[in-house]
Amino acid sequence: MKNPAGVKAFAERLRYLRRQKGYSQQKLADIANLEQSTIKRIELAQLSPTLDVLISISRALMMEVKELVDDPAITSSDSGL
């Protein structure tokens, strides 16, 4: 995992956005056509979502991918580059 802090920050952001919509993990998974276990693992920072998964989640939350990941804690690199 290249950016564990970013994965954790995304996990927290996804959980926050999902709860703001009033969605359970299962409801978000159903709308995004994903497995509930995928949402759970992302929210536990055990899984980094692929681009396809990010697109599915952003559509389910009715937002652009950029909005979904637009947080310096998510996009900054641990490598200092």
The model scores a pTM over 0.85: yes
Q: Give residue 80's pLDDT.
A: 45
How buried is residue 39: exposed, middle or buried, by Cβ count under 10 Å (0-12/13-18/19+)? buried
Name the CATH superfamily for 4-70: lambda repressor-like DNA-binding domains (1.10.260.40)
In the numeric block, the tokens 């804690």 are attached to 73
As a dihedral over the C-alpha atoms of residue 62, residue 37, residue 4, residue 63, rounded to 10 degrees, the angle is: 0
Domain segments of the chain as ranges = 4-70
Q: pLDDT tens digits, the chain, 81 residues: what are they?
A: 577 888 999 999 999 999 999 999 999 999 999 999 999 999 999 999 999 999 999 999 999 999 999 887 887 755 444
Q: Give residue 11's pLDDT.
A: 96
